[in-house]
Structure 1
Amino acid sequence: MAMLSAVASARAILTSLHEVMASRAGAQAKLNLIVEVIGEKLDSEVCSIYLLREGMLELFATRGLNQAAVHVTRMAVGEGLVGTIAANIETLNLAEAAAHPDFAFRPETGEERFHSFAGVPIVRRERAVGVVAVQHVEPRRYEEVEIEALQTVAMVLSELIANAELIDDEDVLGVPAHLTGHERLKGLTLVKGLASGVAVFHQPRVTIEHIVAEDTEAERQRVIHAFDKMREQIDRMASQAEFGVGGEHEEVLETYRMFAYDEGWTRRINDAIDSGLTAEAAIERVQQRTRMRMRQIDDPLLADRMHDLEDLSNRLLRIVSGQLGTAASMGLKGDAILIARNLGPAELLEYDRRRLKGVILEEGSLTAHVVIVARAMGIPVVGRVKSLRGKVRDGDILLLDGDQGVIDVRPAPALVEAFETRFAKNRERQAHYATLRDVEPVTRDGTRIAVLMNAGLRDDMPALAMTGADGIGLFRTEFQFLVSATLPARERQTRLYRDVLDAAGDKPVVFRTVDIGGDKVLPYLRHNDGETEENPAMGWRALRVALERDGLLKVQARALLEAAGGRTLNVMFPMVTEPWEFDAAKAVFDSQLAFLKQQKKLLPEAIRYGAMLEVPALAECLDVLAPRLSFLSVGTNDLTQFLFAADRANPKLAERYDWLSPAIMRFLRRVVQTVAPHGTDVTVCGEMGGRRLEALALLGLGITRLSITPAAVGPVKELVRKIDLREIREAMDKWLAEPPRDLRSAIAEWAFYRGIECD
């Protein structure tokens, strides 16, 4: 069959179907007419329509089989050829039906004399709600164009079925077997915590209202404009490096571009429009074919590429239909678990924090911007969960265990109950910790420990009063940069810093100057040569960026100095590697201070300058730098990866190197001992200080200041009050002199015998 006649034939079928649909006949009469039209146009002796009712596929209309079998022949999903098509949402095209292993003979239909068989699923919202099948006496495979015509018919039937309410409630029925029962998905823990709620897709599926086109040329123009717009978006993404730096992100973008400009894809969509479909229906028709091919692909790399095409099809559908909003713009109705391929921090902040309980990402890494912000917001996140669209439906109940990196989809009542019990215990614990708000963290031998909290958003500040933390030991100023489309103006920075200081009252706030670059790439601030870095964590980032782009640091320095007028300003520089970098950064502040003095502006009463020890090299020069420092903060997250040469974003290494290894413990003790003669405060910032066993070890090293997540403040306060500092320091001295094989177990055993509960 020539391509022109294939399109003409599909168009003829669609025109006839359009007439049937427009007639005043009842739903059953329309189905009876449709099987006649298809049989005639495809020159097929049999055409049958099966619809899902009461969980069974029922023969609703037929041409060529015994009419007495209509509404009598019923098959379970997965039973026979028709049941297999519905279960797998796949097309079958067989020259000899009886040779297929799933063939099931039904004598009442009189189908024994027909050899060839082809069938396609009738799909509604990604679920099979029926099957349309054709049969022939002679053994022959149906032509590709005939199969495509059947798929078009199936789309029209989907619309008819929905309008005529021919099937039962689609939330109960019309669901493939793999989307009804409980399923457990495994991913990578990005932010710990427990959450339950209904599944909400960040990019909601577009519902196609109209299948048959009124004006083919108008539909073609709509698709052309949508393609132009989509290509523009992809090119812009590539130029702005929205997807992060290097590696798989660039591959994703390249694949996107390949598909966005792929002539085969555009031609198939245009052919579907020529056959009489609307732009939306044409894209969906081609997408359905892609999905069917995806199910037959064993090669994971190729399957990933097909997922990219699925993603782009959704993007194209949203553009062409004008349904561009995310779930955030529509508002969350109740407790929700958000599902996305990837997410930007600004997009996350658009959601109602009272209702957003957790996030699941198909991609995502430990250092993704959205993860950094979600951790600050206390929202559990699980990433690297593949093929979510195929396993989870909008509105499914989800249990997200961020501690284990596990998601239970459509859980059984017993599982929900067990989860709720864990949840309740967590809440009880949190309620208990809340009672410690006004309790001072003093050890049994009378030493006051400073327990501060980390923050980065204006919304974090209420937690200061709620937890009773001693202040903000680390305010990450880069969050404002991460969620902005452009470089935040000085006035905006000043306003944020002033609001934070006002909210803190008489409690200290340590502002860390902007730590961007590396894994926190900003589209408006890129490396001069535009090249991607092979190892961004050790690259052009933090203070290195600030000193090279000194305009950035000057603006921030002035904003901080103005915001702290009349108060004490605590400011620290991230990733100091050598003493001269600290001096250079402080010189920028000194010059801005001199400028503000000239302008007769209100100046800070005092300025305390600190450095963040994340790069091991700085430890070798601490005796030189310490006299110039008011305080030193140790960033354990970065320090660990640099000491062990282990990328913390790599899931294979994430759990491999222990914070409680003798190497880290000895390193930290040496740092404490080096700065002790200079009276410099040492604070440990980062996740390490927020874990009770690790906090116990840090206290044993002589560290008396911890800056941790708000959720960890209560548990750490409770721990401090159970410790005799002299006792743990003596024990630590012994362990580090002759390290045991497993230092973690030794510390845990020591705590257990003293009734000190640790994680």
Structure 2
Amino acid sequence: MTAAHSARQILTSLHEVMASRTHAQAKLNQVVETIGEALDSEVCSIYLLREGMLELFATRGLNQAAVHVTRLGVGEGLTGTIAQNIETLNLAEAASHPEFQYRPETGEESFHSFAGVPIVRRERAIGVLTVQHADPRKYEEVEIEALQTVAMVLAELINNAALVDPEELDRLPEAHAGQEQLTGLKLVKGLAIGQAVFHQPRITIEQTVAEDTEAERERVYLAFDRMREQIDNMASQADFGVGGEHEQVLETYKMFAYDEGWSRRINEAIDSGLTAEAAIERVQQRTRMRMREISDPLLQDRMHDLEDLANRLIRIVSGQLGTAAQKGLAADSILVAKNLGPAELLEYDKRRLKGVVLEQGSLTAHVVIVARAMGIPVIGRVSNIRGKVREGDEMLVDGDAGIVSVRPSFGVREAFEARFTRSKEKKASYAKLRDVEPFTRDGERIQVMMNAGLRDDVGMLAMTGADGIGLYRTEFQFLVSAALPQRERQARLYRDVLEAAKGKKVIFRTVDIGGDKSLPYISSEIAKEDENPAMGWRALRLALEREGLMKAQARALLEGAAGRELNVMFPMVSEPWEFDAAKEVFEQQLAFLKSRKHKLPSVINYGVMLEVPSLAETLDLLLPKLSFISIGTNDLTQFLFAADRANPMLAERYDWVSPAILRFLRRVVQNCVGYPVDLGVCGEMGGRRLEALALLGIGIRRLSITPAGVGPIKELVRKVDTREIGDAMMGWLASPPENMRAALQAWAKEREIEVD
């Protein structure tokens, strides 16, 4: 007899039992008799979770006097272990297991073999189904599979009959009830408190028993076709065509999507009488149980990929394809996801979204830049976060330390709230500096500007008192669009930004796409061969190749800035000729608009991002042509150290406050002396107080940072004497201390300058 046939026989009988008009206890009594007879098992028992304990609710073979008397804690005995670990046990000799406990009132001393499976509802064990036999033998695999299938249906029947208090579904087993502290990669600093919300909500299966097996099979076939089509479409997208990690992920997904063994197991589950959704979930439950037995991290990752695909398949077959953004956030929330795109993040209510925790994520991801602009802390690389958190769990996100506390204890929450309160008080004190100009103690006026990329970001100018927008990332409009934005739409955005800035300077960076910021509607055959996208066909390199793209943006910027000052900055310039070529595109479009009598910008200033170290060696050739230079510390750092910042092994290995980077930057500052060129730093380095102190010490006088950093940096500036820190930095760079960061911290502490 096959597992499917055995399970189907039991399910048919169970369906009749639960449809009868008898009371709940009578139904359970019939259920254990039905299962025991079908599996030729002398004992069959059902334990249900009541008030946090597993209570014997019905039994065939044990003493009836033990029903509603025998109770086990979650984690206690064999039954409690099954519930705690949500795992199956199959023992030839029950007493040989280290967790075995003998309960004399049950009269089970004459039974040797034991098998048990969890009864799971919404990924939580609400009970346990066990069978026992006098002979010391393991149950056959076919019998265990039948038990697992029956337990899945039993969960629905128990729920519908209200045999388990609904509150039990919201109460986690002991293994998942206490506080859990998880660590990850610090992506965006900050503190947040909220309830866990899954970006892709779990699907709750309401009907498990199929009425028409062939109709269910057809639904699964159609869902498989659609899922495979989606996976194949990914292969044609640029971001999955550049080799490396993405290609491996795609190949794994394709392998699982076309795996005949996986689809066969789902078909077998349908044969046993399950609906399409229940069949997928049944196979998924088996996968989860196997995952717990795997210690190899690589195999665990592959099993997580299969879990992702199963979730995708179940959403397709159930028709529940939306994300949590469509449903809306009901309370302060922490978003939990494998990964997110910038457009997906922007769909959420900013008032309710307090933090983000990702299984993947990197420092260079655009969603991180968007989150930083929104002031939302983000922690990435939190392994299996979706398996350790449940919807509605309270979460504390410490983006400063890269720590996530799940279901925190009272003491931990109290301490966190105290820090949170101090943080809010600091923010309030920074807000008071909005209209205060950032002069140093020795009278130097430092420009503190902000970075932006969204239309709504510009409103932060007035709120923070920033001197202007030192970096407007024009590519965000491209990243959140399904198709290439038309020139008129681009021009309208640039016009709106300049109007909202109300006369404050705005520096527009031309589109920086390609590499790890690929768009499905713009691809390059050369880019597809990039083994290191961060150093590949991207930014100005791609824009000069895609002449139509750059011409359209040049015209849009010129039209959008009509009658106003236009500041244009070209990203990732490696050699002077690239700047000349980019400027020529703008000059040609300017000549075209002039010939058509269009209104033109009142003045046009051209600048470059210094991100590629080679440009520093030819600055003398380029400086006479420039109005400004912005040093892009994020890319420059990874290029100087040959360290991909998207790699979690390297993300925090190299320090911005190190002689290598500071000497390089100091040399750039010195090379610009004597030229009427505005030199500044654009990037995360300038928004950190200790790093900003170092930059002031080497002669940087313009910082463009995230809006949240404007207040703290203004406060820092007003406490610093640039001559004093300049002298100190000259000494340190000439003869570096063993730990530059520690030396700078000690210097600041002596002068009561807070730098953390």
TM-score of the pair, normalised by structure 2 = 0.97
Distance 2:367 2:285 in 1: 31
Distance 1:722 1:662 in 2: 24
Bigger mean CA deviation after superposition, 606-615 or 742-751 = 742-751
Bigger mean CA deviation after superposition, 103-112 or 576-585 = 103-112
In structure 1, the residue corresponding to 2:674 is in which secondary structure?
Answer: helix
**Corresponding residue to 1:492 among 470, 489, 493:** 489
Q: 1:625 to 1:17 in 2, by over 3 A?
A: same
How big is the shift at 1:671?
A: 1.5
Bigger mean CA deviation after superposition, 193-202 or 530-539 = 530-539
Kindly indicate whether the alpha-carbon contact (under 8 Å) linking 1:561 and 1:593 is maintained by their aligned counterparts in 2.
yes
Partner of 2:218: 221
Counterpart of 1:638, as a letter, is D
Kindly indicate whether the alpha-carbon contact (under 8 Å) linking 2:569 and 2:607 is maintained by their aligned counterparts in 1.
yes
Partner of 1:516: 513
In structure 1, the residue corresponding to 2:414 is in which secondary structure?
Answer: helix
Distance 1:251 1:328 in 2: 29
**Corresponding residue to 2:113 among 106, 113, 116:** 116
Partner of 1:78: 75
How big is the shift at 1:397?
A: 0.2
Distance 1:40 1:394 in 2: 39
Partner of 1:17: 14
Partner of 1:38: 35
**Corresponding residue to 1:359 among 344, 356, 378:** 356
**Corresponding residue to 1:296 among 255, 268, 293:** 293
Q: 1:116 to 1:728 in 2, by over 3 A?
A: closer
Distance 1:267 1:662 in 2: 60
Bigger mean CA deviation after superposition, 193-202 or 483-492 = 483-492
How big is the shift at 1:136?
A: 1.8
Partner of 2:644: 647
Partner of 2:625: 628
Matched, 1:700 2:697: yes
Counterpart of 1:442, as a letter, is F
**Corresponding residue to 1:253 among 250, 254, 265:** 250
Matched, 1:104 2:101: yes
Distance 1:39 1:242 in 2: 54
Kindly indicate whether the alpha-carbon contact (under 8 Å) linking 1:231 and 1:261 is maintained by their aligned counterparts in 2.
yes
Counterpart of 1:443, as a letter, is T
Distance 1:687 1:201 in 2: 29
TM-score of the pair, normalised by structure 1 = 0.97
How big is the shift at 1:737?
A: 3.2
How big is the shift at 1:574?
A: 0.6
In structure 1, the residue corresponding to 2:673 is in which secondary structure?
Answer: helix
How big is the shift at 1:244?
A: 8.0
**Corresponding residue to 2:314 among 317, 333, 349:** 317
Distance 1:242 1:640 in 2: 24
Kindly indicate whether the alpha-carbon contact (under 8 Å) linking 1:52 and 1:174 is maintained by their aligned counterparts in 2.
no
Kindly indicate whether the alpha-carbon contact (under 8 Å) linking 1:569 and 1:607 is maintained by their aligned counterparts in 2.
yes
**Corresponding residue to 1:126 among 112, 118, 123:** 123
Partner of 2:752: 755
Counterpart of 2:84, as a letter, is A
Deviations 1:723-754 (A, max 9, x none): 23333333333333333333333333333333
In structure 2, the residue corresponding to 1:318 is in which secondary structure?
Answer: helix
Kindly indicate whether the alpha-carbon contact (under 8 Å) linking 1:129 and 1:175 is maintained by their aligned counterparts in 2.
no
Unaligned stretches of 5+ residues in structure 1 = none
How big is the shift at 1:368?
A: 1.9
Q: 1:707 to 1:321 in 2, by over 3 A?
A: same
* Superposition pairs of residues 642-681 of structure 1, within 5 angstroms: 642-681=639-678
Distance 1:366 1:747 in 2: 25
Matched, 1:742 2:739: yes
Distance 2:672 2:411 in 1: 55
Deviations 1:625-659 (A, max 9, x none): 11110111111111122222222223333333222
- Percentage of pairs with the same residue: 76
Kindly indicate whether the alpha-carbon contact (under 8 Å) linking 1:53 and 1:173 is maintained by their aligned counterparts in 2.
no
Q: 1:724 to 1:87 in 2, by over 3 A?
A: closer
Partner of 1:428: 425
Deviations 1:673-708 (A, max 9, x none): 222212111011111211222222222222211111
Kindly indicate whether the alpha-carbon contact (under 8 Å) linking 1:648 and 1:654 is maintained by their aligned counterparts in 2.
yes
Distance 1:740 1:117 in 2: 67
How big is the shift at 1:363?
A: 1.2
Distance 1:755 1:81 in 2: 60
Distance 2:301 2:147 in 1: 28
Unaligned stretches of 5+ residues in structure 2 = none
Counterpart of 1:491, as a letter, is E
How big is the shift at 1:497?
A: 0.8
Q: 1:108 to 1:284 in 2, by over 3 A?
A: same
* Superposition pairs of residues 537-548 of structure 1, within 5 angstroms: 537-548=534-545
Matched, 1:450 2:447: yes
Matched, 1:526 2:523: yes
Matched, 1:269 2:266: yes
Bigger mean CA deviation after superposition, 198-207 or 164-173 = 164-173
Distance 2:724 2:576 in 1: 36
Q: 1:10 to 1:724 in 2, by over 3 A?
A: closer
Distance 1:49 1:333 in 2: 37
Partner of 1:212: 209
Deviations 1:465-502 (A, max 9, x none): 01111110111111111222222211221111111101
In structure 1, the residue corresponding to 2:634 is in which secondary structure?
Answer: helix
How big is the shift at 1:171?
A: 4.7
Matched, 1:147 2:160: no
Deviations 1:488-528 (A, max 9, x none): 21122111111110100110100000111122122222222
Q: 1:535 to 1:726 in 2, by over 3 A?
A: same
Distance 1:381 1:174 in 2: 27
Q: 1:216 to 1:728 in 2, by over 3 A?
A: same
Q: 1:48 to 1:457 in 2, by over 3 A?
A: same
In structure 1, the residue corresponding to 2:649 is in which secondary structure?
Answer: helix
Kindly indicate whether the alpha-carbon contact (under 8 Å) linking 1:52 and 1:173 is maintained by their aligned counterparts in 2.
no
Counterpart of 1:197, as a letter, is G
Kindly indicate whether the alpha-carbon contact (under 8 Å) linking 1:433 and 1:714 is maintained by their aligned counterparts in 2.
yes
Matched, 1:158 2:169: no
How big is the shift at 1:758?
A: 2.1
How big is the shift at 1:585?
A: 0.1
Distance 2:497 2:602 in 1: 17
In structure 2, the residue corresponding to 1:652 is in which secondary structure?
Answer: coil
Counterpart of 2:261, as a letter, is G
Matched, 1:549 2:546: yes
Kindly indicate whether the alpha-carbon contact (under 8 Å) linking 1:245 and 1:521 is maintained by their aligned counterparts in 2.
no
Kindly indicate whether the alpha-carbon contact (under 8 Å) linking 2:337 and 2:386 is maintained by their aligned counterparts in 1.
no
Distance 2:689 2:75 in 1: 52
Q: CA RMSD in A?
A: 1.6
Partner of 1:368: 365
Matched, 1:715 2:712: yes
Partner of 1:281: 278
Partner of 2:379: 382
Partner of 1:239: 236
How big is the shift at 1:450?
A: 1.3
Distance 2:674 2:423 in 1: 42
Kindly indicate whether the alpha-carbon contact (under 8 Å) linking 1:632 and 1:680 is maintained by their aligned counterparts in 2.
yes
How big is the shift at 1:184?
A: 0.4
How big is the shift at 1:250?
A: 2.0
Counterpart of 1:189, as a letter, is K
